[in-house]
Structure 1
Amino acid sequence: MSRTTVAAVAVVVAVLLTTVLTSPGAASAGPGHGPRVLRVMSYNIHTGIGADGAADLGRVASVISEADVDVVALQEVDVHWADRSGYADQATELARLTGMSVYFAPIYDLDPAPGYKERRRYGVAVLSRHPILSATNHEITRSSTVDPDAKPEPMPGFAEVVVSVRGMPVHVYNTHLDYRPDPTIRSRQVAETLDILRQDPPRAHQLLLGDFNAEPAAPELAPLFERLRDAWGGREGGLTYPAEDPTKRIDYITVGGDVRVLNASVPAVEASDHRPVVATLLLR
């Protein structure tokens, strides 16, 4: 996209936001009324290891802060997990560095490493500037990467966080689907994800973010896109992996309910082996 085109898009978005936010009643709207604009990000942080192979969680925090987002879905988060991340609690540390609240949903929860007291945990996390009303760690089918002899079975690590955006509840889901070339497990995960989403109230505002480990045309994702809308909107681009020279679009922001996508972008950063996806949403 040329600089001229980017500038034109920015102007259109600015005009749209101004029109929405200055519409009759918007300026004086109370907590339960008027438009609500929400900026969200999905980011596989690769446990803080960048495209250069260096571990630096501060770089990840800077990417989040510079994007000026309200809610962030993080994948590949270590909590006292391994030497690669210094056995740090990355979820709590990123919350501190960004000034946001956090909910961590472990996929694995193992005994402490020798010489340590804290349990070893690895999974996904959600950061939020808005109040968190509730949080759930759902189970979906997984094939363990820790136990090579394990059979696919229900395992946790599919996070749901309900945040209050000026009094409006928004269901934010964060997922990390199976990475294997065989789509069988991903297909089961998609079906189970949809079953969980259907449990929300009718017309609920739903956001499903995450690393789907499949490109948009993958058959196993088709049922998902029948219910949810891809924030990228079918445009070219949006490639997220690998970060230094991306060739695949496997990281997503999808929306359901009365949610309008105002814009979406992929910042050209290399604090992880993935690039993040960012979208500005209008909740109606």
Structure 2
Amino acid sequence: MKNSKPPIVKVLSFNIAHGLGMDGIMNLERTATIIEDSCASIIGLQEVDRFFGERSQFMDQVEWLGERLGMYTAYGANIDHAAEQAGQPNCQYGNAILSKYPITYSKNHHMTPVQQWYGNDEQRGVLEAVIEVDDIAISVYNAHLSLKDEELKLSVKEILALTAGSKFPCIVLGDFNAPPFYAPIREMNRYFTDAFLKMKQGDAYTYPSPYSYKTSDVDLKPVTRIDYIFFGPEMEVVQTATISTDVSDHLPIVADLVLARTKQIQPSKQKTSKAKA
């Protein structure tokens, strides 16, 4: 007999800056330790490299983290170009989802770019995954969005269209590159609940990570909140926190979400993410 008690999942969002710490050292083990110590069971990571280059030692960071943490993984490359040497894997950079629960489907969605005179022209994306938590299927959308206002507005519209098409309760998380008072974030709040606002932690700043420079009197402290965990009406939040660390330029955030036991449609098996046990 299955447990009728609604499950609680700990969700984490973390822009890992390909493992580059505030001290200028790339060390993915430090990133893995932060994730492990958080006890999160569903993780959305942004700025993840796969064979990207020397900056991340040509690692497949997705596979490495999946094996290190014993989790299922899904990946969406937003930058994807051929390696300089023939026969080598493509250089990729994008978003990853890690889960202690099976990932039964995943798809990467490129956001529509908007050409403007300011800001970079980096391709942005949202990685979608369907995850089975006990007998409940949920859709998780992991976003890394643009710094450009018009593109950010369009991306949020596209995210809302994606979530509206989901058959399952939705979690939207990631690096939105915008503070809570920006119009696109207010638009997200029309359809989803901001976990930190719900817990009256709207001042839980995530960028930049705290760091003291030994060669000067400069101390960095978080001054804005641009990383979010949103959830749909089928869920409730019972706890939120930021994790203080300098292993990236963003602070990771976590939320404990209660998943209501509603009538479920079995998730599609048409595409299965790779898994690491």
- TM bucket normalised to smaller: 0.7 to 0.9
Q: Distance between the aligned counterparts of 2:55 and 2:140, measured in 1?
A: 29
Query: Are 2:156 and 1:190 equivalent residues in the alignment?
Result: yes
TM-score normalised per structure 2: 0.84
Aligned 1:84-103 pairs, distance under 5 A: 84-103=55-74
Q: Distance between the aligned counterparts of 2:256 and 2:176, measured in 1?
A: 20
Bigger relative contact order, structure 1 or 2 (CA pairs below 8 A, ≥6 apart): 2
Change (3 A) 1:88 1:225: same
Query: Are 2:246 and 1:270 equivalent residues in the alignment?
Result: yes
Structure 1 unaligned segments of length 5 or more: list them. 1-28
Q: After superposition, give the CA deviation of every residue in 1:84-143 in whole Å (9 maximum; x if it has no partner).
A: 001111111111111111101000111013376111111000000001111111232135
Q: Distance between the aligned counterparts of 1:122 and 1:143, measured in 2?
A: 20
Give the match for residue 174 of structure 1: 142
Conserved? CA contact 2:193–2:231, under 8 Å: yes
Conserved? CA contact 1:105–1:156, under 8 Å: no
Alignment equivalent of 1:45, drawn from 3, 16, 20: 16
Give the match for residue 166 of structure 2: 200
Deviation at 1:242, TM superposition (A): 0.5
Q: Which amino acid aligns with 1:230?
A: D
Aligned partner of residue 175 in structure 1, secondary structure:
strand
Conserved? CA contact 2:112–2:155, under 8 Å: yes
Q: Distance between the aligned counterparts of 1:236 and 1:115, measured in 2?
A: 49
Conserved? CA contact 1:106–1:156, under 8 Å: no
Conserved? CA contact 2:9–2:256, under 8 Å: yes
Alignment equivalent of 1:219, drawn from 183, 200, 205: 183
Query: Are 2:207 and 1:231 equivalent residues in the alignment?
Result: no
Aligned partner of residue 173 in structure 1, secondary structure:
strand
Q: Distance between the aligned counterparts of 1:199 and 1:187, measured in 2?
A: 19
Conserved? CA contact 2:124–2:145, under 8 Å: no
Deviation at 1:79, TM superposition (A): 0.4
Change (3 A) 1:108 1:143: farther
Deviation at 1:158, TM superposition (A): 1.2
Q: Distance between the aligned counterparts of 1:127 and 1:227, measured in 2?
A: 25
Q: Distance between the aligned counterparts of 2:191 and 2:53, measured in 1?
A: 38
Structure 2 unaligned segments of length 5 or more: list them. 211-220, 261-277
Q: Which amino acid aligns with 2:51?
A: H
Aligned 1:22-41 pairs, distance under 5 A: 30=2, 33-41=4-12
Give the match for residue 99 of structure 2: 128
Give the match for residue 222 of structure 2: 246
Aligned partner of residue 170 in structure 1, secondary structure:
strand
TM-score normalised per structure 1: 0.82
Q: After superposition, give the CA deviation of every residue in 1:129-167 in whole Å (9 maximum; x if it has no partner).
A: 0011111112321359xxx997x9xx6731111110111
Aligned partner of residue 47 in structure 2, secondary structure:
strand
Q: Distance between the aligned counterparts of 1:205 and 1:236, measured in 2?
A: 24
Percent identical: 31
Question: Please, what is the CA RMSD of the aligned residues?
Answer: 1.9
Deviation at 1:34, TM superposition (A): 2.4
Most deviating of 171-180 and 231-240 = 231-240
Q: Which amino acid aligns with 1:170?
A: I
Q: Distance between the aligned counterparts of 1:156 and 1:178, measured in 2?
A: 6
Deviation at 1:232, TM superposition (A): 0.1
Q: Distance between the aligned counterparts of 1:195 and 1:282, measured in 2?
A: 24
Change (3 A) 1:254 1:85: same
Runs of 4+ in 1 over 6 A off after TM superposition: none
Q: Which amino acid aligns with 2:185?
A: L
The total of aligned residue pairs comes to 245
Q: Which amino acid aligns with 1:256?
A: G
Q: Distance between the aligned counterparts of 1:220 and 1:194, measured in 2?
A: 11
Q: Distance between the aligned counterparts of 2:238 and 2:252, measured in 1?
A: 17
Most deviating of 244-253 and 227-236 = 227-236
Q: Distance between the aligned counterparts of 2:20 and 2:181, measured in 1?
A: 29
